[in-house]
Structure 1
Amino acid sequence: MKKILAFLTIISLGYNSQAQYAVKDIPEALTPNAHLVKRLDDIRVDIKNPGKAYYYRHYVYTIMNEAAERYAYFVDHYDKFRDINSISGTLYDASGNKIKNVKKKDIADESGSGSNLADDARYKVHNFYHKSYPYTVEYEVEGEMKGIFNLPEWQPVPAPEVAVEKSSLTVITPKDYTLRYKQLLYSGNVLTKEEKSDKTYQWQLNNEAAKPTEAYAPEWDNISTRVIIAPSQFEFGGYNGEMSSWQNFGKFMLSLYSGRDVLPADIKSKVHQLTDHLKTNQEKIATLYRFMQDNTHYISIQLGIGGWQPLDANYVAKNKYGDCKALSNYMVALLKEAGIKANNVLIKAGEDETGILSDFPSNQFNHVVVCVPAGKDTTWLECTSQTVAPGYMGSFTGNREALLVSENGSAIVRTPAYRKENNLQVRQVKATIDANGKLTAKVSTTSTGLQQDDLHSLINNSSPDEQKKRLQRIFTLSNYEVPAFSYLENREAAVPTVNETLELVANDYASITGKRLFLRPNIVSTYTSKLAETEKRTHDIVCTYAFVDRDTVNITIPEGYQIESMPPPVKLNNQFGAYHVSYKIEGRSILLIRSYERNAGTFPAKDYTSFVDFYNKIYKADQARMVFVKKEE
C-alpha cells in the first residue's frame, strides 16, 4: 500500500495547480455526444494475500449538462468485508478554478438495506449540488478489503454519451499469486512489471470519444471495453476457496451450504403426507412447490457471509421466511425428503441482464433458483415468488446461463427459453360508436408466456386502484375511462396465461365534421414508437425475445354513413418479423384483422435502414384512419 500511496502522491503534485480542469482544455474530439467527460479515472487494487487487499480510486469528472447529473454523486459502499478509510473531493467551475472541498460533515452515511430485512451494507454519499454547467468534480477514496472473493471490474466507458480522457486499472499482487483476468474489447495487451516481491498489471484507455445512444442496441456490457479480474485462491468470511474452475467455485458454495438442508420432524411428516400418494415426480414437485409458496415469504437478509450462505432449512420452516438462497435451499430439502434430487443454481437475474461470462469462472451472480434435473422433463423453480407457476422462469431468470451446484461436479447450464409461439397476446375487441363519436368497447385479451409477466406482477403486487391507474394510461386514446376490468390467471399450464377483460369508454373517439365521420379502426393495439433514421448505425440491432400479437376488432358505427375512404391492407414479411392488417366493411360493421410477429435475434448494423422502414410502416398502418360520409337522403 505504501508503494501505491507514494506513487499517487507524485500524481497529486502534478494535478494540484489552479485551473487544471478547465473545460476548454478537453480535446475537441471528445466533446461531440458527450454529457460526461472522464478527465481522469484511476482504480488501483493491492492484493496482499487471499484474505486482504487495499483499494484506491481517484476520479475527475466534467459534468457537461444536466443529463450527466447522476455522475456528479459520490457513492461508495462498505460492509463487514470492505472498509472505507478516507474520502476527499473538490468542486471546480468551468474554468477549472476550485470552488470548494468536501467537508467530512457533508458526507452522508446511509443504510444499504433498502427492502432487505437485515443488511450490513452501508454507503458513503456526497453531492456538491452544483447546477452551473459545465463543472468538474474530483474525488479520492481509499479502503480495505477483508477477503478478495469480489474484485472490482474496470469499465472505463460506463454508458453512451460518456467520453474518456484517461482511465486505468492497476492491480498489484504478490509475485507468486495468480491473478485471473478477462479482457473484453480491449485493444492492446496488459502491461506487466515484476519487482522483487510484487507483480503489477495495468490496463489503460485514453482519448475515447463518446458514442451516441442507439435504439435496439446490444446491452452496453457487450459493446464496451471491460476488464474483469478474479482471484484464484481466496478467503471469505472464514471460508477458503478457489475459483479457477466452475467445479472449484461450486465446491466453495457447497461448503457454505453443508449441513443446512435438515428439516424439522413436523415438516418431514408433512412432505410425506402431501406426496406419498402421488404417482409422478412432476406431481410431487408441483405440490411441494405450492406448499413452499403458501407457507413462506421472501425477505432479503444480507448479513456478513449470510449474503452467500443460506439460513438453514429448519430456520426457514419455523420462521416461514427467507431470501432467495434460503428459500431455494429449503425447497431442495423438501424435495430431498420426497426422494427427489434437486440442485441450487446460481444465476445472474434481471430483465436486461447480459448473462454471465461462462468461460471465466468468477462471482457474477445475484440470485439463486432451483433445478430438478430430469432430461427433457427438467423442472426449474423460482422460490422467491408466492404466485408464479411451477416450472416457469420468465424474463427475470429465463434464457441464460447459470451455475448448477452439485456434489457430482458443478457445471454451467442454461435456463428455459420461451419461443415465439409461447409468447402470445390474443385480443378481441367489440365496440360501438354513437352519433356523437363516443366509443363503448369490451376488450378481452389473453396473454401467455413472457407477454403475461408484467400482468402477473400487476395482479399479484398491485392494488385494484393501481391496476386501474395503469389501464388509464396504457392506451393511445386522448380521453377515455375504464369502468370495469377483471383478471383471471391460469398457473397450471407449463406456460402460464392471464385473461384480461375490460370495458372501455372514450368520448370523441370518432371525429365528426359536417357530414363526415373519421375514426381509427385499430383501437388499442397501436405500435407507438416511430424510429428515427440515422446516417450511420454503429452497433448491431438486437431484439431480445420473440412474440406474436393477434387482434380482431369489430366496430359498429352509427346509422346513415357509408365508407368514403378506407386504408389499404398492409402485408410485411422479412427477417425482423411479419405484420398483416386487413379491413372489411359490411353495412354498419367494420372488421379489422391484425397480426404482428417479432423475431428475436441479432441483426447487422447495415440492415438498420430496413429495420426502421419495417417498424415505421407498422406505425403508419396502426395509425391509419377511415372516413365515412353520410348517405344522401
Structure 2
Amino acid sequence: MQKIIFTLILFILSQLVISQNYKVGKISKSELTEKVYPLDSSANAAFLYSKRNTYFKYVQNEGFKVITEIQERIKIYNHEGYKWATKEISYYNPSMNAERVTISNAKTYSLKDGKIESYKLKKNDIFDVKENKYWSTKKFTMPNITDGCVVEWTYRITSPYTSIDAVQLQYEIPVKKISCKIEIPEYYVYSIKETGYLPINIQKLQKNKTIVIKDKTRSGGKVVKTYYSTNNINYISNTTVIENTNVPALLKEPYVNNIDNYKSAIHYELATTKWPNKPLKNYTKSWEDVAKTISKNSEFGGELKKTSYFKEDLDKLRAKFPNKNELMLAIFEFVKHKVKWNNTYGKYSYNGVRTAYKKGEGSVADINLILVAIFREAGIHANPIILSTRSHGIPIFPTLKGFNYVIAGVEVENNVLLFDATEENSIPNILPIRDLNWKGRIIRDNGSSTWVNLITQPAKLNTTVQVKINENGEVEGLERAQYMNYEAYYFRNTYGKVKDEDIISKMEEENSNIEISDFKIINKNNLYKPATIMYKFDSDELLDVVDDKIYFKPLLFMAETKNPFKLETRDYPIDFGMPNNNKKVVSITIPKGYAVESIPESFAIGLPNNLGVYKFSVTATGNKISVISLFKINTPIIPTAYYPQIKEFYKQMIAKNLEQIVLKKV
C-alpha cells in the first residue's frame, strides 16, 4: 500500500513538473503555498528549478568565449532554510583577462493577503569580494526572506578561458527539476567524467552552426576605398542535454571530509583542440606533466632558489644545533614562529618568499617553500609536496587546478617526513587536518615526482580511571588521560591557549556534570611529547540507587551512547581522517556491604578486512571490578560498501556501553 501511495505521489509530482512555468519571474501561488517538500518533509528548502546553459560564443578578433547562464528558483520552507537565500559566485579575476559576472532578475516572492508580492535585490546589496590576486566572489543575500517565500535569480559568467565548470546535479537540498545544456564547438574535445551515484538522463545532439567573420580592406592609389566582406565558417556544435526531476538531497552524516566530492556531477577537462588545416594539439596531461609544470613556475621552483634572505638566521641555528636531526626540528620551529600564516591557500608563492620572510606573514606556499629552501641550504634532503585540501576536493583529472596547497617533505631511509609550518601545533607527520585528503605529490629537485601518503600516524588516546563508590551512590575517582599523535594535536588546538578553569568547566559539562579538582596538564605546549591530563572527580549522578541495589554503566561518563550513523543507506565513504586507537581502563572499588550481582558479558566485534575492532570486557574479583574498552579503526577511510557493517558495529558497541553493572546489598 505504501509503495502504491509513493508511486502516486511521484506521478502527481511529474505532472506538476511538466505543467510548471519555469520562465523567469513566473512564480505561481501553488509554489508559494507549498508547506513542505512532498518527497522529503524534513527539507528546509528545495530547488524548484535549476537551469544551466553553457555555450561558446565567437567574438570578432578575440576568438571563442565561454558563456555560462544560470537560473535558480528556490523554495524556503522554514528559518533553517534561510541560508539558501544567500548566493556566492566565485570567478577568476586576475589583473588581466578576468572573467565577468552579471546578476539579474533577482527577486524574493511571497504571498500577502492572497496576492503575490515581489522584492527586488538592489545593486548596492551585491558585494564583490577580492579573495586573492586570482579569485573574487560575488555575494548577495535576497531581501524580505520569510517562511514559505521563493527566491529566484539569474546570472551570467563570461570567460575568455576554455575551462568548463563541473555541472552539479545534486545538492544538500532536493531538486524538483534540473535542466542543463552544454554546447561545445567541434574544435574542442573534452575528457568527461561523471561522479556521484545519481542516475543521469543524458541526451547527445549535434547542431550546425556558423561563424560570420567580417573583414575590412583598403585599396591603395590616389583615392582610398574601403571594402567590406564576410566569410562564413560552418562547424558542428556537440550538445549535451540533461533533464532530471525529483533529485533527492545528498544528506550529510558525520565522518565525511567534503560532501561536494560525492554529489552527482559531470566534470569537463580540455583534452585536445583540432582547428581546420592545423595539427591536432593535445592538452591531456599526466600527473608527472602537472608536477613538472608547477615546478618550472617562477612562483614555485624559482622561489626555492632564493636563499640569501635567511642565511644569517640559518648560521645561528647551525651554531646552536650541530646535530642534523635537531637542526631539522629547530628550523621547522623557527619558520613556524618567524612567518605567520595569513590564511591564504595556494601552491604558488603569493607575494614572494623574501617579502613574506621580511614581513613575518605569508601564504601557505610562502611559508612552506621557505621551509624547503632552508632545509636544502642546511643539507637536509627536502622537497615540496603539492596536495589538494579537504575543502578543495579530490582531483578528477591530472590538472594544475587539482592542487591548491604545498607542504614540505624530507626523505630519510625510504621514508618521507611531512612538515607544514602554517600551524604552531603541527609536528613532523602530524599535519593540519585540512591537509589530510587523498595523497600528495612530492616534486624532487631532479625533476622526478611521485605520490606520498599524507596520513602516517593514528589518533591515539589512553585513559585510566580509578573509582571508589560509597553506599549512598556517590563516586570519587582519579583520571589520567594521555593524548598522542593526532589526539595530542586536537587537544592542543582545543585547549592550548585556554585557562585551566575554563578547561575544567568544559570537561565537567561534557562528562555528565562531574566535579573536577586537583586538575593538572603535563606537556600542554611541549609538542614533541604526549599531552597528559590528570584530575580528581566526584559525582552523585553517575549511579542509580534503587532500594538495595546500585546500577551504573561500566564506563561511567566515558560511555558511548549515540550512534552517529542514522541513514538507511549512505552514498559516500566513512572518513575518520586518520586511524584511531582509543583504550579505556576503569578500576572500580565497590562499597562495603555490597556484592556484584551482575556484570555485562565480555564482547568483541570486528569489521570486515581488519578495518576495525571493538573489544569490551568486565571482570569482578572480590570488591574490585575491572573494565577494559578498546576501540580501533585501522584505516582512515572505510568504503561505502561497508556502511551497513559499520552502522551495526556502532549499534552493538553502544548497546554494550549502555548495559549496567548491578550491585546488591548483602
* Contact 1:483/1:505 (8 A) holds in 2: no
Note if 1:417 corresponds to 2:432: no
Deviation sequence 1:8-48 (CA, Å, 0-9, x none)? xxx99955546287368999985566544323222344556
Q: Which runs of structure 2 are paired with 1:353-432 in the superposition (5 Å)?
A: 355-357=394-396, 359-374=397-412, 376-393=414-431, 395-398=433-436, 400-405=438-443, 408-409=446-447, 411=449, 413-418=451-456, 422-432=458-468
* Contact 1:425/1:447 (8 A) holds in 2: yes
Note if 1:497 corresponds to 2:530: yes
CA distance in 2, matches of 1:320, 1:27: 53
Structure 2 match to 1:621: 656
CA distance in 2, matches of 1:111, 1:604: 38
Structure 1 match to 2:334: 291
The 1:448–1:411 alpha-carbon spacing in structure 2 relative to 1, beyond 3 Å, is: same
* Candidates 146, 170, 174, aligned match of 1:162: 174
Q: Which runs of structure 2 are paired with 1:511-590 in the superposition (5 Å)?
A: 511-530=544-563, 537=569, 539=571, 542=574, 544=576, 545-575=578-608, 577-590=612-625
* Contact 1:172/1:201 (8 A) holds in 2: yes
Note if 1:323 corresponds to 2:369: no
Q: Which runs of structure 2 are paired with 1:186-201 in the superposition (5 Å)?
A: 186=200, 188=202, 191=205, 193=207, 195-197=209-211, 199=237, 201=239
The residue type paired with residue 257 of structure 1 is F
Structure 2 match to 1:109: 127
The 1:208–1:194 alpha-carbon spacing in structure 2 relative to 1, beyond 3 Å, is: farther
CA distance in 1, matches of 2:347, 2:647: 45
CA distance in 2, matches of 1:67, 1:588: 53
Note if 1:68 corresponds to 2:68: no
CA distance in 1, matches of 2:402, 2:374: 28
Structure 2 match to 1:138: 152
Q: CA RMSD in A?
A: 4.1
- Displacement of 1:201 in angstroms is 4.3
Q: What is the aligned-residue identity percentage? A: 14
* Contact 2:407/2:418 (8 A) holds in 1: yes
Which fold has the larger relative contact order, with Cα–Cα distance below 8 Å and residues 6 or more apart in sequence? 1
The 1:51–1:426 alpha-carbon spacing in structure 2 relative to 1, beyond 3 Å, is: farther
The residue type paired with residue 163 of structure 1 is V
Deviation sequence 1:230-273 (CA, Å, 0-9, x none)? 45699xxxxxx977444444454332335323556462143244
* Candidates 235, 260, 267, aligned match of 2:303: 260
Structure 2 match to 1:128: 143
- Displacement of 1:330 in angstroms is 0.8
* Candidates 40, 47, 51, aligned match of 1:38: 47
SS in 2 for 1:56: strand
CA distance in 1, matches of 2:171, 2:601: 46
CA distance in 2, matches of 1:54, 1:104: 24
* Contact 2:48/2:75 (8 A) holds in 1: yes
* Candidates 338, 343, 365, aligned match of 1:300: 343
* Contact 1:554/1:592 (8 A) holds in 2: yes
* Contact 1:56/1:140 (8 A) holds in 2: yes
* Candidates 486, 490, 496, aligned match of 1:460: 496
* Contact 2:423/2:432 (8 A) holds in 1: no
Structure 1 match to 2:523: 488
SS in 2 for 1:384: coil
Structure 2 match to 1:7: none
CA distance in 2, matches of 1:322, 1:616: 46
Deviation sequence 1:268-293 (CA, Å, 0-9, x none)? 14324434897876554333212212
- Displacement of 1:512 in angstroms is 3.0
Q: Which runs of structure 2 are paired with 1:274-285 in the superposition (5 Å)?
A: 274-275=317-318, 282-285=325-328
- Displacement of 1:516 in angstroms is 2.9
Note if 1:58 corresponds to 2:58: no
- Displacement of 1:82 in angstroms is 4.0
CA distance in 1, matches of 2:541, 2:591: 14
* Contact 1:166/1:207 (8 A) holds in 2: yes
SS in 1 for 2:303: coil
CA distance in 1, matches of 2:474, 2:36: 59
* Contact 2:596/2:663 (8 A) holds in 1: yes
Structure 2 match to 1:176: 187
* Contact 2:508/2:514 (8 A) holds in 1: no
CA distance in 2, matches of 1:151, 1:59: 19
Structure 1 match to 2:108: 91
CA distance in 2, matches of 1:541, 1:46: 35
Q: Which runs of structure 2 are paired with 1:200-215 in the superposition (5 Å)?
A: 201-211=239-249, 213=251, 215=253
Structure 1 match to 2:480: 444
The residue type paired with residue 450 of structure 1 is Y
The residue type paired with residue 503 of structure 1 is K
* Contact 2:119/2:143 (8 A) holds in 1: no
CA distance in 1, matches of 2:634, 2:136: 42
SS in 1 for 2:155: strand
Note if 1:339 corresponds to 2:382: no
- Displacement of 1:381 in angstroms is 1.1
CA distance in 1, matches of 2:323, 2:527: 16
- Displacement of 1:329 in angstroms is 1.4
SS in 1 for 2:395: coil
TM-score, normalisation: structure 1: 0.80
Deviation sequence 1:37-79 (CA, Å, 0-9, x none)? 3232223445567996444321112234444332222333465
The residue type paired with residue 509 of structure 1 is L
CA distance in 2, matches of 1:403, 1:491: 30
SS in 2 for 1:579: strand
* Contact 2:307/2:373 (8 A) holds in 1: no
The residue type paired with residue 293 of structure 1 is K
CA distance in 1, matches of 2:553, 2:541: 12
Worse-superposed segment, 11-20 or 251-260: 11-20
Structure 2 match to 1:19: 28
The 1:341–1:222 alpha-carbon spacing in structure 2 relative to 1, beyond 3 Å, is: same
Note if 1:152 corresponds to 2:165: yes
* Contact 2:496/2:524 (8 A) holds in 1: no
The residue type paired with residue 395 of structure 2 is I
Note if 1:595 corresponds to 2:627: no
Structure 2 match to 1:6: none
CA distance in 2, matches of 1:449, 1:336: 27
* Contact 1:540/1:602 (8 A) holds in 2: no
CA distance in 2, matches of 1:84, 1:61: 21
Gaps of 5+ in 1: 1-10, 235-240
The 1:27–1:482 alpha-carbon spacing in structure 2 relative to 1, beyond 3 Å, is: closer
Deviation sequence 1:354-394 (CA, Å, 0-9, x none)? 5323x442413332212234562222211212231123336
Deviation sequence 1:441-483 (CA, Å, 0-9, x none)? 22111232333332131243545455344323332x1454466
TM-score, normalisation: structure 2: 0.76
- Displacement of 1:399 in angstroms is 5.8
* Contact 1:442/1:501 (8 A) holds in 2: yes
The residue type paired with residue 19 of structure 1 is S
The 1:391–1:569 alpha-carbon spacing in structure 2 relative to 1, beyond 3 Å, is: closer
